Amino acid sequence: MPKVLIVEDDESMGTALKDGFSYEGYEVVFAGDGVEGLRLAIERAPDLVILDVMLPKMSGFDVCKEIRKTGSAVPVIMLTARGQEIDKVLGLKLGADDYVTKPFGFMELMARVEALLRRASGQTGRAESYTFGDVSVDFKRGEVRRKGKPIEMSAREMRLLQYFVEHRGEVIARDRLLDEVWGYDEAPLTRTVDMHVAKLRKKIESRPADPQFLLTVHGMGYKFNG
């Protein structure tokens, strides 16, 4: 479960947020002023920070700025009272990821929180290029080379290879590949996956019948060891 840091000095608002996020299954860390908020942001390494702008001791803007100074890319949502819209630009400049103006509905806040968490988790592991064995891949250019010689790859083969690279080491079920590489709307048979894996093996393995990188895990799926 994600860990969310809430920094809010207004007692009733703070309690409401705490209870709300606990209820939704989040782990909640709470701070009542800016200094404590900054400390907890560093010590507890939350997955997301909800930050009131008006805070005792240290403003939300400064807390956000200091968090960024530590190099952290944790998503930050700012809470601001109506009439402070002028500060929006300033806030985003300082590294906040989103803005919610009081009064707001809890569902609206939750939606933005989930959007940010999804965005943050999606960033991990998107490779631009990768090398394994005598094969090198440039995903940006869409080129694959083996011993320096270019290999022709179809679009689907490329996406499949990229997915394997981005999830190397994991056992990946055929259904998951269909979801992630083919897409939700399309629904080919799982045997189609086998077919494409076989084609990939012919292109990247020295001995496709005895693969070194793209392994079969009987009864579970495939696994890329690169």
Partner DNA sequence: TCTCCGTTGTCAACGGGGTGTAAAGCCTCG
Partner DNA sequence: CGAGGCTTTACACCCCGTTGACAACGGAGA
List of residues contacting DNA (CB under 7 A): 152, 154-157, 174, 182, 186, 188-189, 191-192, 194-198, 201, 208-209, 216-221
**Residues paired with 125 in a beta bridge:** none
Q: Select the residue interacting with a copy of itself from 82, 140, 147, 207 (CB under 8 A).
A: 140
Question: CA 33 to CA 44: how far, in whole Å?
Answer: 16
Do residues 78 and 98 touch, judged by C-beta distance below 8 A? Answer: yes
SS3 at position 77:
strand
Restricting to residues 20-59, name those near a copy of itself by CB under 8 A: 23-26
Restricting to residues 6-25, name those near a copy of itself by CB under 8 A: 23-25
DSSP conformation letters of 107-176: HHHHHHHHHHHHHHHHTTT--SEEEETTEEEETTTTEEEETTEEE---HHHHHHHHHHHHTTTSEE-HHH
Do residues 200 and 163 touch, judged by C-beta distance below 8 A? Answer: no
Does position 198 interact with a copy of itself (CB under 8 A)? The reply is no
- Which amino acid, one-letter code, is at 103? P
Residue 142 touches which member of a copy of itself, DNA, none, C-beta under 5-8 Å by kind:
a copy of itself
Placement of tokens 């009733």 in the chain:
12
Q: Select the residue interacting with a copy of itself from 57, 156, 176, 203 (CB under 8 A).
A: 156
Q: Select the residue interacting with a copy of itself from 125, 133, 183, 188 (CB under 8 A).
A: 125
Instruction: Give phi and psi for 121, each to the nearest 5.
Output: -70, -25
Q: Select the residue interacting with a copy of itself from 19, 85, 170, 179 (CB under 8 A).
A: 170
Give whichever of 127 and 198 is closer to DNA, judged by the CB atom. 198
Give whichever of 82 and 140 is closer to a copy of itself, judged by the CB atom. 140
Which H/E stretch holds residue 27?
strand 27-31
Give whichever of 102 and 156 is closer to a copy of itself, judged by the CB atom. 156
Does position 223 interact with a copy of itself (CB under 8 A)? The reply is yes
Q: Binding residues for a copy of itself, how many (CB under 8 A)? A: 26
CB 63 to a copy of itself: min, Å: 27
Paired sense of beta strands 149-151 and 171-172, if any:
unpaired
Does position 207 interact with a copy of itself (CB under 8 A)? The reply is no
Interface residues with a copy of itself (CB under 8 A) are 1, 23-26, 115, 118-119, 121-122, 125, 140-142, 154-156, 158, 169-171, 217-220, 223
